[in-house]
Amino acid sequence: AQKITQTQPGMFVQEKEAVTLDCTYDTSDPSYGLFWYKQPSSGEMIFLIYQGSYDQQNATEGRYSLNFQKARKSANLVISASQLGDSAMYFCAMRELRGGGATNKLIFGTGTLLAVQP
């Protein structure tokens, strides 16, 4: 069964430093997608970045990059030059594409609460 594991319940980082949030996944489907979402204290879910299992390069979106290590089944989020506004809960999620991706369902991890300190 597919599963997402985020082992860091909480993390601290100094402003302007880089931080890595860990995510490991388990799936038997060779075709899948990995997502990261940000949830600030206001509660909304904000999409950050996507990595497909067949993508050759690691995904990047501005200060966000995804360190995708397929053999290790890990998809860590790297935030460069942290800002105070990065303080939030971060969720890793996976979508299996078995059956043609007919549902686009996501499985979420339990999240990592990031606190950026000035």
Partner 1 sequence: NAGVTQTPKFRVLKTGQSMTLLCAQDMNHEYMYWYRQDPGMGLRLIHYSVGEGTTAKGEVPDGYNVSRLKKQNFLLGLESAAPSQTSVYFCASSPPGQGTYEQYFGPGTRLTVT
Q: Identify which of residues 45 and 84 has a Cβ nearer to partner 1 in the complex.
A: 45
According to CB under 8 A, which one of 45, 81, 84, 115 is a site residue for partner 1? 45
Residue that the structure tokens 């950026």 belong to: 116
Cβ 17 to partner 1 shortest distance, Å: 26
Would you say 89 and 109 are in contact if contact means Cβ atoms under 8 Å apart? Answer: no
For the CB of residue 13, give the shortest distance to partner 1 in the complex, in Å. 21
64 touching partner 1, by CB under 8 A: no
Q: Which is nearer to partner 1, 11 or 106 (CB)?
A: 106
Per-residue x/- marks for partner 1, 3-42, CB under 8 A?
Answer: -x----x---------------------x-x-x-x-----
Task: Find tokens 């594991």 and name the residue.
Answer: 5
DSSP single-letter state for residue 84:
G
Sole residue written with tokens 């931080």: 19
Closest to 78 (Cα-Cα) out of 104, 96, 95, 60: 60
When asked if residue 111 is in the footprint of partner 1 (CB under 8 A), the reply is yes
Query: What does the block give as tokens for 65?
Result: 């990059």
Beta carbons within 10 angstroms of residue 34's beta carbon: 26
Contact residue for partner 1 among 11, 29, 50, 78 (CB under 8 A): 50
